[in-house]
């Protein structure tokens, strides 16, 4: 599958420890690979790996204010 930057949409994650928000993965993407990438997300700011949540988003657009 070839994808162009215009078609890639961010899937946003939020750290439960430091509240940092970052794109954990981009879609469209193979569903199995996407699930593995998201499940293994680690906060790039503080290294938290147990309390990573899905940020409020809509079709790749972040809907909550960014922190940290």
- When pLDDT is cut at 50, 70 and 90, the band that residue 9 belongs to is very high
Going through 4-48 in order, the beta strands assigned E by DSSP cover 9-15, 21-27
CA angle (60 as vertex; 59, 63 as ends), nearest 5:
90
Other residues' Cβ atoms within 10 Å of the Cβ of residue 54? 12
High-pLDDT (> 70) share of the chain, %: 87
pLDDT for residue 30:
87
High-pLDDT (> 90) share of the chain, %: 60
Rounded Cα distance between 61 and 12, Å, is 8
Instruction: State pLDDT tens for residues 14-44.
Output: 999 999 999 999 988 788 998 898 899 999 9
- The Cβ-side half-sphere exposure at 14, using a 13 Å CA radius, reads 13
Domain boundaries, the chain: 9-62
Which residue has 């928000």 as its token pair?
A: 21
Residue, of 64 and 14, whose pLDDT is higher: 14
């Amino acid at each position: 599958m070839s994808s162009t930057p215009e078609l890639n949409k961010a899937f946003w994650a939020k750290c439960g420890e430091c509240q940092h928000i970052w794109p954990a993965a981009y879609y469209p993407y193979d569903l199995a690979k996407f699930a593995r990438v998201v499940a293994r997300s680690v906060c790039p700011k503080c290294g938290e790996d147990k309390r990573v949540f899905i940020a409020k988003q809509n079709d790749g657009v972040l809907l909550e204010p960014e922190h940290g």
